[in-house]
Amino acid sequence: MFKILIKEGVIFREFNSHFVDFIGVLNDVAEKMGFIPTITSAAEGEHTLSSYHVLNCAWDIRTRGLKEVNMVVFNLGKNLEALDRRWEIIYGDKDHLDHIHVEFNLRS
């Protein structure tokens, strides 16, 4: 069953092919690992002008309640990079402790 939750206040300004790839892989990983993901950020919020959020190519996923965050990160990265090596998954640094940041790097 396809199910992805969206945090209240999240704004999507564009659904593009990168978003379609992202949610498809996110749903596949979530189904296999047994969780329902929540997107917590898209194009809204305070992002720099060069941010991929502003360019509609980055999304954040809530980690609260996930039991195997590192496996989620690994599986997202493996499956997205199989589609295109320009995908980047960021988690665990000081700016990404409470969410997984997923972006399609347009500049690579």
In order along its 108 residues, the chain shows pLDDT tens digits of 789 999 999 999 999 999 999 999 999 999 999 999 999 999 987 767 668 998 899 999 999 999 999 999 999 999 999 999 999 999 999 989 999 999 999 987
Instruction: Output the pLDDT for position 49.
Output: 67
29: in domain: yes
46: in domain: yes
HEC assignment per residue over the chain: CCCCEECCCCCCCCCCHHHHHHHHHHHHHHHHHCCCCEEEECCCCCCCCCCCCCCCCEEEEECCCCCCHHHHHHHHHHHHHHHCCCEEEECCCCCCCCEEEEEECCCC
9: in domain: no
Q: The domain containing residue 92 runs over which residues?
A: 14-104
Strand partners, 76: none
Instruction: Output the pLDDT for position 25.
Output: 98
99: in domain: yes
Query: How many domains does the chain fold into?
Result: 1
83: in domain: yes
Whole-structure pTM value: 0.93
73: in domain: yes
27: in domain: yes
